[in-house]
């Protein structure tokens, strides 16, 4: 047992890089997949719509903690080889991000009126051109506030990687708390750092929402 010192303080901030890394990985792989899911959900082919809906339902109906453990222990079983824990965790966060962002973006796409697609078709634009130039810009505007809101969920969600031994912010908090016997100070500090990360995003999301509402 030792007292809480500057080193503990620094180690909490140093652990932030893993929190950030996990968020970046989840977004880098999850966002393209989410776009695919969202487009699949509004496609002409009923079977594709159903398949995408089923994928999203399954992922959204399982705890994030469950996804993490499932792939942590499952990746070696699926692949037949040992993989670094980081890969398993990235897969879990990617699917989590894809499922939630996919639904958010589908909502945005569906909120753009059908007539807008038809207007594009009348102008002789191809389906991709309609999407790219007419639908996507409007859908993006509508889905930006909830997308930023989800980012907050994702940042908070990375705390679960601590349970698989990743020394991100939450895990660093546990380590420091155990070493110093100062749970009050440590966890208050950890919560404060998460709060400082998330609050600006929450406020941004809210102001975006208000601005969109005002311009309607």
Partner 1 sequence: MNFLPLWRYQNQLIDGAIVTLELTVISAFAGLVIGIAGAVALKGRITSLRWLVRGYIELFRNTPSLIQIFIVFFVLPNFGLKLPAFEAAAVALSLYFGAYSVEIIRAGLDSIPRSQVEAGQCLGLSGWQVFRHIILPPALRNAYPAVTSQFVLLLLGTSLASQVATDELFHVAGFIESRTYRSFEVYAVICTVYFAMAMSFKALFTVIGLAAFRWPRRR
Q: Least Å distance between CB 73 and partner 1? A: 4
Cα distances from 130 to residues 39, 69, 106, 133, 135, in angstroms, run 13, 41, 16, 6, 6
DSSP 123: T
93 is a site residue for partner 1 (CB under 8 A): no
Pattern 67-86, partner 1, x by CB under 8 A:
x-xx--xx-xx---------
Classify burial at 47, counting beta carbons within 10 Å of its beta carbon; exposed 0-12, middle 13-18, buried 19 or more: exposed
Under rule CB under 8 A, which residues in 29-58 are in contact with partner 1? 57-58
Q: How far apart are CA 205 and CA 151, in angstroms?
A: 10
Under rule CB under 8 A, which residues in 150-169 are in contact with partner 1? 152, 156-157, 159-160, 162-163
Contact 151, 201 (CB under 8 A): yes
117 is a site residue for partner 1 (CB under 8 A): no
Q: Least Å distance between CB 149 and partner 1? A: 10
Stretch that binds partner 1, among 9-17, 42-50, 117-125, 179-187 (CB under 8 A): 179-187
Q: Which is nearer to partner 1, 93 or 194 (CB)?
A: 194
Q: Which is nearer to partner 1, 5 or 57 (CB)?
A: 57
Give exposure, 150-167, as e/b (b: 16+ Cβ within 10 Å). Answer: bbbebbebbbbbbebebb
Q: Which is nearer to partner 1, 13 or 195 (CB)?
A: 195
Helices (H) and strands (E) in the chain, counts: 9, 0
Complete DSSP assignment for 33-51: HHHHHHHHHTSS-HHHHHH
E strands of the chain, at which residues?
none
Contact 33, 98 (CB under 8 A): yes
Q: Which is nearer to partner 1, 7 or 54 (CB)?
A: 54
Q: Which is nearer to partner 1, 14 or 127 (CB)?
A: 14
64 is a site residue for partner 1 (CB under 8 A): yes
Q: Least Å distance between CB 203 and partner 1? A: 9
Q: How far apart are CA 63 and CA 202, in angstroms?
A: 23
Binding residues vs partner 1 (CB under 8 A):
57-58, 60-67, 69-70, 73-74, 76-77, 152, 156-157, 159-160, 162-163, 170, 173-174, 177, 183-184, 187-188, 190-191, 194-195, 198-199, 202
């Amino acid at each position: 047992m030792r007292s809480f010192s500057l080193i503990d303080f620094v180690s909490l901030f140093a652990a932030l890089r893993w929190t950030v890394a996990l968020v970046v990985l989840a977004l880098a792989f999850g966002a393209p997949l989410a776009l695919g899911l969202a487009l699949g959900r509004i496609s002409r082919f009923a079977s594709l719509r159903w398949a995408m809906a089923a994928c999203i339902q399954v992922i959204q109906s399982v705890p994030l903690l469950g996804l993490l453990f499932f792939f942590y222990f499952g990746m070696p079983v699926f692949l037949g080889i040992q993989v670094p824990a980081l890969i398993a965790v990235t897969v879990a966060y990617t699917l989590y991000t894809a499922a939630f962002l996919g639904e958010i973006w589908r909502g945005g796409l569906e909120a753009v009126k059908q007539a807008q697609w038809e207007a594009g078709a009348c102008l002789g634009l191809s389906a991709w051109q309609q999407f790219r130039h007419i639908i996507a810009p409007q859908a993006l505007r509508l889905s930006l506030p909830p997308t930023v809101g989800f980012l907050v969920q994702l940042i908070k969600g990375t705390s679960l990687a601590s349970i698989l031994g990743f020394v991100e912010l939450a895990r660093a908090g546990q380590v420091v708390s155990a070493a110093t016997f100062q749970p009050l100070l440590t966890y208050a500090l950890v919560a404060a750092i998460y709060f400082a990360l998330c609050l600006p995003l929450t406020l941004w999301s809210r102001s975006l929402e208000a601005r969109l509402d005002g311009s309607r």
